[in-house]
Structure 1
Amino acid sequence: MELEFSGEVWSWRGPAPYHFVWVPHDEAEQIAETAAAVTYGWGMVPVTVTIGDTAWTTSLWPKDGRYVVPLKDKVRRAEAIELGTVVHLRLRIEI
């Protein structure tokens, strides 16, 4: 499964800061339909994410009936992504 969408980068200020992008509702519904086949626990869904010229593997985190894409610091630096930046993402989920 491949999905593309854009979203604004936001931060969660827990014990360590994390940066995320929400998966839009429609795409989250598509992911939820196949999540049981790929999740490895706690609803986490392994994905390959591409932003610009940078691709990496991570897992979508389930939150509030949707999913969030965590953005690694290395990726944010490579693509000059700041808090509040709207980014275009491509997700690939192996089913």
Structure 2
Amino acid sequence: MRIRFTAEIYEWSARRNWFFVDVPPEPSADISDRPRMPRGFGSVRVIATIGGTTWSTSIFPSGDTYALPIKKAVLKAEGVGQGDEITVDLDALDG
């Protein structure tokens, strides 16, 4: 399943220097509805792309959506940070 969305980068309030974007509710529901093997914390394996940077990671349930962690190396490579609105291409691999 491939999705594209635009979201604002935010810093996790519980831990400084951890940055995320939220997958919007509709695609999050589509991801959640797909059958898959259970994984830790309800995570789903994904391939994420922002600009010219692609990496493997997992998204994690956060209320009615999923949160995508963004590595510091990605933020630096793409010249983005907290408060910036970015476009994300996401390939959900599980299910």
Q: Give the TM-score normalised by structure 1.
A: 0.91
Q: Which residue of 2 aligns with 1:19?
A: 19
Give the aligned CA root-mean-square deviation in angstroms.
Answer: 1.3
- Letter of the 1:72 counterpart: K
Number of equivalent positions: 94
Give the superposition deviation at 1:61. Answer: 1.1
1:86–1:58 Cα change, 3 Å: same
Alpha-carbon separation, structure 1, partners of 2:50 and 2:15: 26
Give the superposition deviation at 1:52. Answer: 0.5
Q: Which residue of 2 aligns with 1:87?
A: 86
Q: Which residue of 1 aligns with 2:68?
A: 69
| Gaps in structure 1 of 5+ consecutive residues | none
Contact 1:9 1:83 in 2 (8 A): yes
Percent of aligned positions with the same letter in both sequences? 31
Q: Which residue of 2 aligns with 1:28?
A: 28
| Gaps in structure 2 of 5+ consecutive residues | none
